[in-house]
Structure 1
Amino acid sequence: MSLPRIGVVIVTMGMRPRELAALLASVRAQDVPAARVVLVGNATPLTGIPTDATKLPLKENLGCPGGRNVGLTALLDSGEVDVVVELDDDGLLIADDVFRRIRDLFAADSRLGVIGFRVADEHGHTERRWVPRLRAGDPMRRGLVTASLGGGHAFSVPMLRQIGLWPAEFFFGHEESDLAWRALDGGWKILYEPELVLQHPRTSPARHAVHYRFTARNRVWLARRRLPIALVPVYLGVWVLLSMIRMRSLGGLRAWWGGFVEGVRKPCGPRGPMGWGTVWRMTRLGRPPVL
């Protein structure tokens, strides 16, 4: 049996040229080379970037999930890869054996759908919100989880062909949950592997002007799309309460409630609720889909 072939997708808006150059160098330095690397330019022409990667410049900003879908589609259509690694353009692979480890993990388990990396800053610190489980005190605890971070992860191509790509309409925020819930409902495993590290600067998601609006809107869309109808009010009630407790800005509060109303009123894409067996599986993994 042949070993899985690795493809890479990186989406950039051209605003971090130094970080992007370092990331591309760290991809080239891997001891198992990628079969193909695709660089997607979200509303940027990608001129002046020295790279052997396939460049796909886009005239408009499709958002993070929409831009990634362009790269994923190119790799899936090529038939050249079995696993896709997606990396933030301001991330960095600090070890040269990341692709080899990924290849071997997927080769060992045909039902492995997603591998999530540990994200750490330049000092090796991993923030609690970067650990994809409720009990996030130990970022080095490996195991099966119900989610993965968007900044650094690997996908099985057979899984993507079965469950579909990112929800492009989300544009920014909670697209990881939508894809992860579909993967779990399709019978795939999500593994958090802390030995696979993506170095990433410590930032706040609230740095994006649309953070509060899209966070609220996309939570409503996620519930409407993926939860059994009985769990929709439970999930939204929990997150309304938590969001109001955490809110520290009047402007953020207005944006959040504007996004919530938008999520209720506007179309959210096709509905495909998870089965109750998946709800139970997520609960046994430590995170029922109401938190």
Structure 2
Amino acid sequence: MRNPRVGVAILTMGTRPAELTALLASVAKQDTPPARVVVVGNGSPLPLLPDGVTGVELPENLGISGGRNAALARLKEFGDVDVVVDLDDDGLLISTDVFTRLVELYESDPRLGIVSFRIADERGRTQRRHVPRLRASDPMRGGLVTTFLGGGHGLSIRMLEEIGGWPEPFFYAHEETDLSWRALDAGWKVLYEPDLVLQHPWTSPTRHAVFYRMVARNRVWLAKRHLPALLVPVYLGIWTTLTIARTRSVAGLRAWFGGFVEGLRTPCPPRRPMRWATVWRMARLGRPPVI
């Protein structure tokens, strides 16, 4: 990809106006300026945006997947974007060369589909859950991985045109895994680059009221959509065991099992099982699609 043009997509629900303003200022300071910046109000009105920033107000909250697809559709309409950068509205680009480095990565590898940023708080700490690999003790170890971080990442438009966009029925949780599994099965690469940093407050995923139910339902959907039949019970069995062992909240477990049953009962087409070659490739990258 020669001279890839960057488009930025940001979702907001209108609850972080100060953080959104700071994020947009950090985007404007990039050495490599973005071709486009789109801010989507996900079921909420948008504040006054800086000149050159396009606003899209959705009448209802479509979730992370639906909101990002709306931003992606608007960027595609412009026709001058090659790489989409999704950023959380409470994040901050603390370096001015993030887009320059990102462009260099895409220029150097025509099969690079996804680049995952490192998420770090104000003290430079990266939570274990924000390292996209099983061995997560060293957040500074980059390389090829099998998933990516939703808070800050780059996506090749050419890849998205081949594999499709975000899985809208998921609404929230595991949408990155769904997208990365499709990318890997189509022969694209997913890279974790820790030198590309999005500063983000230290948070817990359980702050979202729907966390347990969505995580369980969407994990079942992941298996039903993408795994070879032989691996579906293995994957679900391992994650059920891990959830029971890790979860200390009785209410949380009840919600999780409710979501699990919902996932079993409800379809989430299409079913396109990944190739066994992809399973082996993921295993060689350190994370077979069973955990």
Normalised TM-score (structure 1): 0.98
Separation in 1, partners of 2:269, 2:212: 21
* Secondary structure of 1:248 counterpart: coil
Matches within 5 A, 1:33-182: 33-182=33-182
Separation in 1, partners of 2:26, 2:272: 38
Paired AA for residue 202 in structure 2: R
Moved segments of 4+, more than 6 Å: none
Structure 1 match to 2:264? 264
With 245-254 and 110-119 compared, the bigger mean Cα shift is at 245-254
CA positional deviation for 1:77: 2.9
- Contact 2:14-2:47 within 8 A present in 1 as well: no
* Secondary structure of 2:134 counterpart: coil
* Secondary structure of 1:172 counterpart: coil
Separation in 2, partners of 1:270, 1:8: 29
Structure 2 match to 1:227? 227
Pairing 1:280–2:280 present? yes
CA positional deviation for 1:2: 4.0
- Percent identity, please: 65
- Contact 2:117-2:153 within 8 A present in 1 as well: yes
Paired AA for residue 39 in structure 1: V
Paired AA for residue 223 in structure 1: A
Separation in 2, partners of 1:51, 1:212: 40
CA positional deviation for 1:267: 1.6
Pairing 1:255–2:272 present? no
Q: Deviations over 1:133-173 (max 9, x none)?
A: 00111111110000101000000110000000000100010
Normalised TM-score (structure 2): 0.98
For residues 215 and 51 of structure 1, do their structure 2 counterparts lie closer, same or farther at Cα, with a shift above 3 Å needed? Answer: farther
Q: Unmatched 5+ residue regions in structure 1?
A: none
* Secondary structure of 1:86 counterpart: strand
Structure 1 match to 2:243? 243
Separation in 2, partners of 1:230, 1:202: 38
CA positional deviation for 1:73: 1.3
Q: Deviations over 1:233-272 (max 9, x none)?
A: 0000000000001111111111111100100001212111
Length, aligned pairs only: 291
Q: Deviations over 1:85-125 (max 9, x none)?
A: 00000000000000010111101100000000000000000
Separation in 1, partners of 2:258, 2:13: 27
Separation in 2, partners of 1:131, 1:275: 26
Paired AA for residue 205 in structure 2: P
Matches within 5 A, 1:12-31: 12-31=12-31
